[in-house]
Amino acid sequence: MQKLFDGYARFRSTQWPERRKTFEGLADEGQNPQTMVIACSDSRVDPTMIFDAEPGELFILRNVANLVPPYEPDTAFHATSAALEYAVRVLEVKDLIVMGHAMCGGIRVLLDGPPAQGGDFLVPWMRIAESAKFRVLARAPADVHTECEYETVKLSLGNLMTFPWLAERVEAGSLKLTGMSFDIRSGQLLMLQGDGTFAPVDTP
């Protein structure tokens, strides 16, 4: 914990004076992000850092393996769906990015099963992506893990379109969906192309 407190002290002494007006504006006027990012909870993947974003720019949802479940309005607990509803229907974001990443532990659970200490919730959660796993295994690629990372991004994008109020906005052109994957080994960001492949994002 002391390392976190030390970091907070640095924030208060260096970043807070520089960003005070930004935070005060966000407090007074509320948030108005134009982009939502659905990313993995993995500690090595930070959307704010990857996109060099300022406070208030991104509405970020992080969960294991950046998964979106299908639309299921019932009495169960739906944290991911609740965040989606808030971002799309209340904040009215214009862009929604599903960002997977290399070396994803959730995908490892999907392929190999959970560690001994983690089966209560990981297994049922990762069942969301079972169809993605089966599609990849049927193709028998050389790198099954990476292909499953890509395929789960596509699956989440497909599940997003099962939310009627989200699909309406996509079809009307007021919301754009994008698939991406971040390679933590190289720092390279890849984007899903029209042909289903992932290609590096161009940078100047």
pLDDT in tens, 17-37: 989 999 999 999 999 999 999
Percent of the chain surpassing pLDDT 90: 90
Distance CA 163, CA 160 (A): 6
> How much is the average pLDDT of 67-91?
95
Quote the tokens at residue 146: 């990476």
For 189, phi then psi, to 5°, come to -100, 130
| Domains detected in the chain | 1-30 (no CATH), 31-200 (3.40.1050.10)
104: left (phi over 0), alpha (psi -120 to 50) or beta: beta
Any idea which of 9-18, 82-91, 149-158 has the lowest mean pLDDT?
9-18
Q: Which two tokens stand for residue 41?
A: 């909870």
Helices (H) and strands (E) in the chain, counts: 9, 6
- Maximum C-alpha span of the chain: 55
User: Does residue 118 surpass a pLDDT of 90?
Assistant: no
Q: Are the C-beta atoms of 159 and 81 separated by less than 8 Å?
A: no
Rounded mean pLDDT of the chain? 95
Compute the distance between CA of residue 72 and CA of residue 200 in angstroms, rounded to an integer: 34
Q: Tokens 């984007």 map to which residue?
A: 191
Would you place residue 99 in the very low, low, confident or very high pLDDT band (cuts 50, 70, 90)? very high
User: Quick check: helix, strand or coil at residue 190?
Assistant: strand
d(C-alpha 56, C-alpha 36), whole Å: 11
Q: Is 56 left (phi over 0), alpha (psi -120 to 50) or beta?
A: left
Neighbours of 108 (CB within 10 A): 16
pLDDT, average across residues 160-176: 98
User: What's the pTM?
Assistant: 0.94
**Distance in angstroms (rounded) separating the CA atoms of residues 176 and 25:** 27
Indicate the range of 69-78, 132-141, 187-196 predicted with least confidence: 69-78
